[in-house]
């Protein structure tokens, strides 16, 4: 199984919570990623491209496994910070 995902990565969990709330209220995920994410993928709206098992840290990969295409995760905590993940593909 491979996944394609976009994410927003921030250090502050409170900020992540506010961003998730805005996304659920209709804000565009890609716009929020470009404005707030600390990951270099922000320039592509958070797009990380395709990846397979073992390519991402376990908590990130496990979240992707549980998600349906087009859905947005709850907050996912890793050693890098707090992620909001949008699953954009599975194959």
Task: Give Cα 79 distance to the centre of its chain.
Answer: 14
- pLDDT computed for residue 30 by the predictor: 98
pLDDT in tens for each of the 91 residues of the chain?
A: 999 999 999 999 999 999 999 999 999 999 999 999 999 999 999 999 999 999 999 999 999 999 999 999 999 999 999 999 999 999 9
Give the Cα separation of 10 and 8 in Å (integer).
7
- pLDDT computed for residue 55 by the predictor: 97
For the sheet with 47-51, list strands across it.
47-51, 3-10, 81-90, 76-78
Q: How many domains does the chain have?
A: 1
| Domain encompassing residue 54 | 3-90
- pLDDT computed for residue 27 by the predictor: 98
Query: What pTM value is reported for the model?
Result: 0.96
Residue 53's CATH number: 3.10.50.40
């Amino acid at each position: 199984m491979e996944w394609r995902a976009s994410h927003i990565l921030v250090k502050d969990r409170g900020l992540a919570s506010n961003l998730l709330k805005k996304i659920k209220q209709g804000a565009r995920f890609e716009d929020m990623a470009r404005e707030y994410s600390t990951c270099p993928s922000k320039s592509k709206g958070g797009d990380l491209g395709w990846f397979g098992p073992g390519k991402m840290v376990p908590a990130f990969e496990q979240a992707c496994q549980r998600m349906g295409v087009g859905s947005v995760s709850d907050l996912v905590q890793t050693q890098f910070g707090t992620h909001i993940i949008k699953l954009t593909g599975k194959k």
